[in-house]
Amino acid sequence: MRRIVLESPYKSDVQRNVEYARRCLHDCIARGEAPIASHLLYTQPGVLDDAVPEERARGIACGHAWIRCADALAVYIDHGISDGMREAIKIAHHHGIKIDIRRLDGSKQAAAE
C-alpha cells in the first residue's frame, strides 16, 4: 500500500471541510492506499485546539513531519487550495515526494514529482 498524506481544506467552513476530508479518506482507501489526514486527526476534541495558535502550529508541524516519509501527497482540490495546502505542496516538492492533484469525481488533474 502506498502511504498517502491527504491534503484538503480545513479552516473556514470546518463542518463542510471535515465531511469532505472524510470522503477524500474514503477515496484514498478505495484506491488501495493508506492515507493519513492530520487535519482530521489532530483537531479531534482533547488532542489539539485549532483555535489556539500554538496548538495549531504544533499540529501543522506534526502533519508536515509525515510528508517526508510518505510515498505521495494527495491534494484534493474540489474546494480550492488553502494556504496550508500550498505549504504542504512546497514541502513535498522540496523532499521529492510525488504530488497527486485529485478531485472526488476521480479525475486526476496533474501529478508532479
**Which residue from 50, 68, 58 is spatially nearest to 9, judged by alpha carbons?**
50
57-85, pLDDT tens digit by residue?
999 999 999 999 999 999 999 999 999 99
Residue ranges covered by each domain of the chain: 3-79+97-112
pTM exceeding 0.85? yes
Q: What is the pLDDT of residue 12?
A: 84
**Helix or strand holding residue 93 (H, E):** helix 83-94
13-24, pLDDT tens digit by residue?
999 999 999 999
Q: What is the mean pLDDT of the chain?
A: 93
Is the model's pLDDT at 110 over the cut of 90? no
Which has the higher per-residue pLDDT, 39 or 112? 39
Contacts of 67 (CB under 8 A, 6+ apart): 5, 73, 88, 91, 92, 95, 97
Cell reading at 46: 482533547
Q: What amino acid occupies position 67? A: I
